[in-house]
Structure 1
Amino acid sequence: MFDQEKARASAWFRQLRDEIVAAFEALETKSGGAPGAFEVTETKRDADDGSDAGGGLMSVMRGGQVFEKVGVNVSTVFGELGAAAQKSMAARGVPGMDSDPRFWAAGISLVAHMQNPHCPAVHMNTRMFWTPHAWWFGGGTDLNPALEYDADTDAFHAVLKAHCDRHDVGYYPRFKDWADEYFYIPHRGRARGVGGIFYDDLNTGNWEADFAFTKDVGRAFLPAFLPITERRLEQPWTEEDREAQLRHRGLYAEYNLVYDRGTKFGLATGHDANAVLMSLPPVAKWH
């Protein structure tokens, strides 16, 4: 059951990865960077007994004219959840994990840290998760500028809203509020950026509709992000701007290491640590 749906979801995440990588390489080349600059590495997840438990592709570009570091990962993993992960899933309301802890998960995860401090960092991921007892989709995207511009924030959110409204006019306000709550750093008392959308455990009972929405979240990414980057790319910046960028990256690193669900899940289930921690910035500062 769900074999066809799993295959379609996994194929979509790979297709989206290919489209984003091609767009980023084209922008880097147009700006004077080296063409085809992504380094692609196969990742692997081993089960506790050493058997194959899936894997994916980690694609990272470093030191470009546009991107100081950007990673676009896809994975399809499966197996049995360990005790800690089972407990976490049970706490989220997934039934039957103690009797049958099998799982399957596929998704795409992207984080971009930019060279020009006026260009915002950005995150995007979407995923499908399956157990014998439940299935759901999740993901989202959020903008993380060190130097904030209201016009950029408004443009980013407008694209997300338009894509959400195609499916349910209640999705954007609901998932925007969820992002504001999720991408928050309690020990700093502030958000890590200017928000976006976030959703999890999406199962309306209509797999096709939920998959269609998840695809549109992925499709929204390039039109939401690329125009902002292209607008800010040549804007002059100072050492003070760079300092602000590096300190903001410190916030981003703190969030991903302390609070991010994907980071915790990836490390807890034995996925490639380099792929899980791909989101960390290449350079950051703290007070």
Structure 2
Amino acid sequence: MTEQFDTQKTRAAAWFRQLRDDIVAAFEGLEDSHATGPMSDGTSGRFEVTETKRTSDDGSDAGGGLMSVMRGGRVFEKVGVNVSTVYGTLGERAQMAMAARKGIPGMQDDPRFWASGISLVAHMQNPHCPAVHMNTRMFWTPHAWWFGGGSDLNPCIEYDEDTAHFHAQQKAHLDPHGDAHYPRLKAWADEYFYIPHRHRARGVGGIFMDDHNTGDWETDFALTQDIGRAFLPAYVPLVEKRRGQLWDDADKDAQLVHRGLYAEYNLVYDRGTKFGLETGHDANAVLMSLPPLAKWV
């Protein structure tokens, strides 16, 4: 059984890395092809890649990954595409949170864990281009394993046709796994990406799942892969459509205010942010999701 899990972990980590490579290439392609409109002059943006390391409490190696960040591009003001594989033992605080939220017995007796995934957040130069978030991940303990993730669109200026396209692509990738998946994951995203203290959603939704374990690893991994595969066809056409659209100061102001909303959510409610900081992962990588500029009214 241990050998089987090791093989599954290797496959999952390799998939997340391949998805990262595909997205980085596509985003740099968007930079290169932006020839007209606002921000079209200047040098195409490129990702700066930094290796991240996680160390355990005793100083031993506990995994790491790649933090890939592009700043000040022609299309992307700031975008991060991080991939990591970390392992070790959960601290007492993380053990308690995991046991309470997921109902996993035995965490205190054997607090080992392994986690791998990709996390992406893009903040755009053009206020008409929507910001976006995507992640997929696998988590393992000796007591259980599960998958999670999804993607959601965060426009500051909403276009109904863009929202419809984003959701249609996700539905098309989920439907082969069963008609029930898209409505369930859409409803989950609507609930998860909600900001209670503002009484509003963070954006226009998407899909999201957590703690996903049907008992069939291959089936669950295939679903997770298609959640990742849906991202580029759902998002890239929206960027290509909006990146050359003219904007004014009012549009930029609306973008900065919406970014403040995004930052509030990620710092107060996002589980991935909390888990990354609680388990000692690189703080810069964990907080990569924060926008370069924001404002509050």
Shared fold (TM-score, shorter chain, > 0.5): yes
Aligned-pair CA distance for 1:29: 1.2
1:190 aligns with 2:193: no
CA contact (8 A) 2:47 2:68 kept: yes
Q: Percent identity?
A: 76
Determine the structure 1 residue equivalent to 2:8: 5
Determine the structure 1 residue equivalent to 2:143: 133
Distance 2:295 2:172 in 1: 36
CA contact (8 A) 2:44 2:73 kept: no
CA contact (8 A) 1:68 1:115 kept: yes
TM-score (norm 1): 0.99
Runs of 4+ in 1 over 4 A off after TM superposition: none
Aligned-pair CA distance for 1:134: 0.2
Distance 2:292 2:143 in 1: 40
The two structures, once aligned, show a CA RMSD in angstroms of: 0.8
What letter is aligned with 2:265? Y
Determine the structure 2 residue equivalent to 1:157: 167
For residues 211-241 of structure 1, the C-alpha deviation after alignment (integer angstroms, 9 at most, x for no partner) is 0110001100000000011111111111000
Describe the SS at the equivalent of 1:12.
Answer: helix
Aligned-pair CA distance for 1:34: 3.5
1:142 aligns with 2:145: no
Aligned-pair CA distance for 1:95: 2.0
Determine the structure 2 residue equivalent to 1:59: 68
Describe the SS at the equivalent of 1:110.
Answer: strand
1:265 aligns with 2:275: yes
Distance 1:95 1:4 in 2: 25
Determine the structure 2 residue equivalent to 1:38: 47
For residues 125-163 of structure 1, the C-alpha deviation after alignment (integer angstroms, 9 at most, x for no partner) is 000000000000000100000000000000000000111
Describe the SS at the equivalent of 2:224.
Answer: helix
The gaps in structure 2 that reach 5 residues or longer are: 35-39
TM-score (norm 2): 0.95
Distance 2:112 2:258 in 1: 39
- Within the candidate set 26, 34, 38, 1:23 is matched to 26
- Within the candidate set 229, 239, 242, 1:232 is matched to 242
What letter is aligned with 1:219? R
CA contact (8 A) 1:26 1:35 kept: no
Distance 1:186 1:224 in 2: 27
Q: In the TM superposition, what are the counterparts of 1:152-231 in structure 2 within 5 Å?
A: 152-231=162-241
What letter is aligned with 2:249? E
What letter is aligned with 1:156? F
The gaps in structure 1 that reach 5 residues or longer are: none
Determine the structure 1 residue equivalent to 2:92: 83
Distance 1:166 1:115 in 2: 35
Task: Give the stretch that moved more between structures: 270-279 or 23-32.
Answer: 23-32
